[in-house]
Amino acid sequence: MIKYILLVLIVGVVLGYVNNNVVVGVVPAGWVNVYLFNVALLVLLFVMGLAFGIDKEAVGKLKARGLRILIIPVVVALGSVLGGLVGGLIFGLNVFGSMAVTAGFGWYTVTGPLLTQALGSQWGALGFTANFLRELLTIVLVSVWVRVDKFGAVASGGATTMDTTLPVIVRYCGSDVLVAAFSSGFVLSMLAPFMVLAFASLM
């Protein structure tokens, strides 16, 4: 599964480069970013939601857990922000800016632009790169995470476990993590924009 994901990613990079440098402007970048990406994401969410709705056992588990389902995203959020604090101290960065970067929880398409507007292009680039790598490493290392703890992949994925990393996590960690992964990603996706801006405002 991972090799196919990486293959598709590489093909996308090559086609994007060819479009911009060899056959200039055949596919407008705006069309890809606004339409193709959103449509693909919506289809993915629909399919995963359909699979979740059909799975009576998963729905039953969600009802049974109730508010306890919030434990995972809260712990992941605290761990991510603490990691940003430690990383800022190690690399000599402003700790609030560093925590704003990690408060994106892997949602790089939001973190990058928000930090660019709030703190400038350098922080925006850092926010985009760090969160993109979080998502990519979750996909690449999911088979390693599952040997340590199947919920480790959920923590690693952060906000992306609601959509892009959800299929690979379910494939390697089992369908019993679907509810926890989806709900964690959903909660973190709701928190990310507010927390990014909150920490950025402290600089």
Residue-wise pLDDT for 33-61, tens only, equals: 567 766 765 676 677 667 667 766 656 66
Give the pLDDT confidence score for residue 40 in this predicted structure: 67
- Across 115-125, average pLDDT: 89
Predicted local distance difference test score (pLDDT) of residue 106: 94
Average pLDDT on 123-143 reads 91
| Predicted confidence (pLDDT) at residue 91 exceeds the cutoff of 90 | yes
HEC sequence for 83-112: HHHHHHHHHCCCHHHHHHHHCCCCCHHHHH
Q: What is the pTM of this model?
A: 0.72
| Nearest Cα residue to 72 out of 169, 199, 194 | 169
